[in-house]
Amino acid sequence: MKRLIINKIALSLSVLSALIGLVFLAWILVTLFSKGINSLSFSLFTQDLINGGLRNLIFGQFLMALIATIIGVPLGMMAGIYLREYGHGKYANIIRDLSDIMMSAPSIIIGSFVFVLIVEPFGSINGWAGSIALTIMLIPIVVSTTDNMLSLVPKELREAGIALGGGKHQVILSIILKAARVGLMTGILLGFARIIGETAPLLFTSGTNSFWTTDLNNAFPSLTVSIYNLANFPTDKARDLAWAASFILTMIVLFINIVGRFFTRDKG
């Protein structure tokens, strides 16, 4: 009887906590949608920040995230493949633990690290530093995803490939990765959604730029950093622009997450 009462109390507290979290989430989303939609206009996508638009910021944010993905995904996948298919013993466990620690590390620490490593030696913030900071954030996500997805591939597939005369690398490339491709793609999409919404590491690395530019050697346009800056401006116009940028960024991240969940559902 006592255990039943404790179970009901714990269940009630869990449900209450979930409801409180959902209420605050709904409050944030409703506020964001109401203020963001009211601030939207077509000119936001055709003009740069200097003229009251967001075109250069959206481009800059996507470009830095894309560069981070191009660099981080191959490195993360190779590390994940090593951990699951080649690495055994304490060294593999150490690497796996370090990857998990990096995945939970505060992003502002990563930004500070890249600032000391790249920004200070070159004397100014730049887009390359921002891309590298996002790459460092993405790699452990891809490592963990690759490691976990490959662990779900049945051992029998590996044995069948070897029995047919395939080398280990051939079995990995032709059988294992293909069997896990849906989960891997989902992890990459969710990792991309994570880094494209980051602000803290870019504050110290890329900064932002009010003008259209493709020069990654200087301060580079960033949607998230500009949201932070605009929200602190004293004018209503700047804050409205921040709300519109926040709404657009939320829609981008939401869309990427929905696509990722669709792949997961398709796998099932």
Q: Give the per-residue pLDDT at 268.
A: 46
pLDDT of residue 25: 86
pLDDT class of 101 with cuts at 50, 70, 90 = confident
Q: How far is Cα 34 from Cα 28, in angstroms, rounded to an integer?
A: 10
Q: How many degrees, rounded to 5, is the angle at CA 56 between CA 42 and CA 66?
A: 115
**What type of residue sits at position 116?**
V
Percent of the chain with pLDDT over 70: 98
| DSSP, res 210 | S
Q: How confident is the model at residue 264 (pLDDT cuts 50, 70, 90)?
A: low
Instruction: Tell me: pLDDT of 81 over 50.
Output: yes
Q: Give tens-digit pLDDT for 169-226.
A: 788 888 888 888 888 888 888 889 889 989 989 998 999 999 999 999 999 999 999 9
In this predicted structure, the answer to whether residue 257 has a pLDDT above a threshold of 90 is no
Rounded mean pLDDT, 35-62: 90
pLDDT at 114: 93
- Statement: residue 126 has pLDDT above 80: yes
Is the pLDDT assigned to residue 10 strictly greater than 60?
A: yes
Residues 6+ apart with CB under 8 A from 114: 129, 132, 133, 136, 201, 204, 205
Residue 267, pLDDT above cutoff 70: no
The two tokens of residue 82 are 């090593």
In this predicted model, which residue has the larger pLDDT, 2 or 248? 248
pLDDT > 60? residue 266: no
Query: Which string of DSSP letters, residue by residue, matches 148-200?
Result: HHHHTS-HHHHHHHHHTT--HHHHIIIIIHHHTHHHHHHHHHHHHHHHHT--H
pLDDT over 80 (residue 99): yes
Ranges of each domain in the chain: 1-38, 44-267
Q: 44-267, which class in CATH?
A: mainly alpha
Instruction: Give 15-43 pLDDT, tens digit per residue.
Output: 999 999 999 989 988 888 888 888 888 88
